[in-house]
């Protein structure tokens, strides 16, 4: 009997819903952002993850349509194991990550001393698929 590869993407997802952040009354997240890394932008609001920003999780779904600005709710995976796109500086196994821009993550920088509120690095990288994506434990 051979060893079967396990799909880590399905391990213990923890999902939460958030309002979608807005810029000039237009939602910052659209259907094209589903599957991307997102950040907590305001109190109970999910928005795009900026470069070096703190990862909230992976955008799983949005209610309604792109035309329903101000009424949509985002479902975000905030815990468990998921696959997220990477950008330079690519993480390695065991790293923590921060925002890489454009819905991706990158290896967290070395921090000499944590900023007020603590280090923004999050997760534990379990696997890296070259320069494409990584599997991360959102812990």
CATH number at residue 22: 2.40.300
Sequence-ordered list of residues with C-beta below 8 angstroms from that of 69, at least 6 positions apart, any chain: 22, 25, 26, 27
pLDDT of residue 16: 97
pLDDT in tens, 2-54: 766 777 777 789 999 999 999 999 999 999 999 999 999 988 999 999 999 99
Position 90 in a domain: yes
Residues 6+ apart with CB under 8 A from 22: 28, 69, 70
Cα pseudo-dihedral 130, 38, 12, 71, rounded to 10: -140
What domain count does the chain have?
1
Looking at the domain assignment, is residue 53 inside a domain? yes
Residue 112 lies in a domain: yes
pTM score, whole prediction? 0.91
Whether 131 maps to a domain, the answer reads yes
Rg (CA), the chain: 15
Decide if 1 is inside a domain: no
Residue 133: which domain range? Answer: 8-138
């Amino acid at each position: 009997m051979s060893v079967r590869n396990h799909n880590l993407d399905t391990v213990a997802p923890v999902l939460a819903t958030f309002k979608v952040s807005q810029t000039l009354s237009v939602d910052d997240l659209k259907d094209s952002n589903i599957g991307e890394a997102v950040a907590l932008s305001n109190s109970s609001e999910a928005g795009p993850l900026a470069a070096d920003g703190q990862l909230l999780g992976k955008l799983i779904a949005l209610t309604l349509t792109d035309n329903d600005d101000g009424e949509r709710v985002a479902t975000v995976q905030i815990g468990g194991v998921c696959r997220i796109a990477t950008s330079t500086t690519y993480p390695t196994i065991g790293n923590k990550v921060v925002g890489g821009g454009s819905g991706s993550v990158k290896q967290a920088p070395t921090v000499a001393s944590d900023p007020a509120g603590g280090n923004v690095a999050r997760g534990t990288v379990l696997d890296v698929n070259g320069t494409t994506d990584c599997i991360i434990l959102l812990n």
